[in-house]
């Protein structure tokens, strides 16, 4: 069946899998296998030579992961995707696929704390410099660019600041230079389709809203198939020079007959092959289950979060509420442009009384879980300054929007009365 629907509610149920060809199973089966029987030696050699695409070994591809990859690629309007072991693996590989020692990327300062660490320390140790710029000023990306800049990087809806990234503005700076924009869309699936605004690559932590039930860690890299890697060949040597790790393949040429998937196919058959951060088929199955109800859940997250924002704004113990639905001026224009179906389920607030009041509030919660996660069906809370962002320096914390009194909430899909009652009683203790 060719799926013609453009509606996410339909795509998440039908793209990438119809029925299992051998058993007729409707649910995507868990192909819990390491390897695959080749038809003959010619078939095996064609697969290794990329003359035809097919299953070789589960570290590199797996049919359950493939269904997830196809489904999310269809949801985003992309060409192909790659499932990996975590969101962190997705971010790291998305960059390492283009940048080598001596190269640089330009990134927004507004990042998940773990990504900040990856960029500021681990990639730096590998010789890849990450130049951080303020996303409020898209031109800052242009100013930080030089001949060795291989990619731009940002999050659609970064927490804790929750100010929407100017995707189109930055993508348009990069395209004539041959520089793709990689967007982490973890906090805004369904709400924003970054490829529609010019992004070239999307990364996800599927651990969050896509999984939705707090059971599995995973990540995805989605190739938009919409970026002209040939526009400025010198800009992307990783795709334009012979790759000794794959008997001299020049990726843009080798993959051309297979479609506009050179970027993501290279990531699969070199980086995933060599570094091994593969998604397990069982986790892929869990993410497929989550994905099938994602549009419904996202709607409920958005409705509840908007109600919580209203409630907190009126509360005397709350200094300030940070929520995309309350954005003003330029920030509101970006919300209106990029978040088409709601403001998301994340929300921050600054509590009167600083760190101590924040701690008392978190310790007083009964329904909310106190965890380092977002995007679960359950409501979650955390104090970033002492947890997720604690490895950042004080200056870095301020730059990424974390103050001592900031509390982050990930609003779940429980009944709104119960969410508000828990906030009420915990604020009374703060």
Question: In the complex, which residues of this chain contact ligand PLP (CB under 6 A)?
Answer: 86-88, 112, 114-115, 155, 184, 186-187, 205, 207, 217, 219, 374
In whole angstroms, how close is the CB of 65 to ligand PLP at the nearest point?
15
- State which residue has the least CB distance to ligand PLP: 87
CB atoms within 10 A of CB 289: 16
Write down the least CB distance from residue 224 to ligand PLP, Å: 18
Q: How far is the CB of 108 from ligand PLP (least distance, A)?
A: 12
> Between residues 103 and 155, which has the closer beta carbon with respect to ligand PLP?
155
- Where do we find the tokens 């695409």? 53
- Nearer to ligand PLP (CB atom), residue 88 or residue 286: 88
Tell me how far, at minimum, the Cβ of 115 lies from ligand PLP, in Å: 6
Identify the CA nearest to 202 among candidates 232, 245, 160, 171. 171
Report the residue number, 79 or 382, with the smaller CB distance to ligand PLP.
382
Between 207 and 270, CB nearer to ligand PLP: 207
- Identify which of 97, 198, 106, 94 has the alpha carbon closest to the alpha carbon of residue 147: 106
Closer to ligand PLP by CB, 252 or 291: give it.
Answer: 291
Cβ of residue 191: shortest distance to ligand PLP, in angstroms?
14
Phi, psi of 62 (to 5 degrees): -155, 140
Choice between 49 and 372, CB closer to ligand PLP:
372
As measured in angstroms, the least distance from the Cβ of 192 to ligand PLP is 13
Q: State the nearest-atom distance from the C-beta of 409 to ligand PLP, in Å.
A: 14
Nearer to ligand PLP, 255 or 271 (CB): 271
């Amino acid at each position: 069946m060719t799926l013609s629907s453009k509606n996410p509610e339909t795509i998440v149920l039908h793209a990438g899998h119809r029925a299992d060809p051998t058993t007729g199973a409707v649910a995507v089966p868990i192909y819990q296998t390491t390897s695959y029987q080749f038809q003959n030696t010619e078939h095996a050699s064609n697969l290794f030579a990329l003359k035809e695409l097919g299953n070789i070994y589960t570290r590199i591809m797996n049919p359950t992961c493939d269904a997830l990859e196809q489904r999310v690629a269809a949801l985003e309007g992309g060409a192909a995707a790659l499932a990996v072991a975590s969101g962190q693996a997705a971010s790291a590989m998305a960059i390492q696929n283009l940048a080598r020692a001596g190269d640089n990327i330009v990134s927004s300062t507004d990042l998940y704390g773990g990504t900040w660490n990856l960029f500021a320390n681990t990639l730096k140790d590998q010789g890849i410099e990450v130049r951080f710029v303020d996303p409020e000023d898209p031109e800052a990306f242009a100013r930080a660019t030089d001949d060795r800049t291989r990619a731009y990087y940002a999050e659609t809806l970064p927490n804790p600041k929750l100010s929407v990234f100017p995707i189109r503005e930055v993508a348009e700076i990069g395209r004539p230079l041959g520089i793709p924009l990689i967007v982490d869309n973890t906090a805004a699936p369904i709400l924003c389709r970054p490829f529609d605004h010019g992004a070239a690559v999307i990364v996800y932590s599927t651990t969050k809203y896509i999984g939705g039930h707090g059971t599995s860690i995973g990540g995805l890299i989605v190739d938009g198939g919409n970026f002209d890697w040939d526009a400025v060949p010198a800009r992307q040597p990783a795709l334009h020079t012979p790759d000794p790790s794959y008997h001299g393949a020049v990726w843009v040429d080798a993959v051309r007959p297979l479609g506009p998937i050179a970027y993501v196919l290279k990531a699969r058959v070199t980086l995933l092959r060599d570094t091994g951060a593969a998604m397990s088929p069982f986790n892929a199955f869990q993410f497929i289950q989550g994905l099938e109800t994602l549009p419904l859940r996202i709607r409920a997250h958005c409705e509840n979060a908007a109600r919580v924002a209203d409630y907190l704004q009126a509360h005397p113990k709350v200094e300030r509420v940070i929520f995309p639905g309350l954005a003003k001026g330029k920030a509101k224009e970006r919300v209106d442009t990029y978040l088409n179906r709601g403001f998301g389920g994340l929300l921050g607030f600054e509590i009167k009384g600083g760190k101590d009041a924040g701690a008392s509030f978190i310790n007083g919660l009964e329904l909310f879980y106190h965890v380092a996660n977002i995007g679960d069906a359950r409501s979650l809370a955390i104090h970033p300054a002492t947890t997720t962002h604690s490895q950042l320096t004080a200056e870095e914390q301020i730059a990424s929007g974390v103050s001592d009194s900031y509390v982050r909430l990930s609003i779940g899909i429980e009944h709104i009365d119960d969410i508000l009652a828990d906030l009420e009683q915990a604020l009374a203790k703060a």
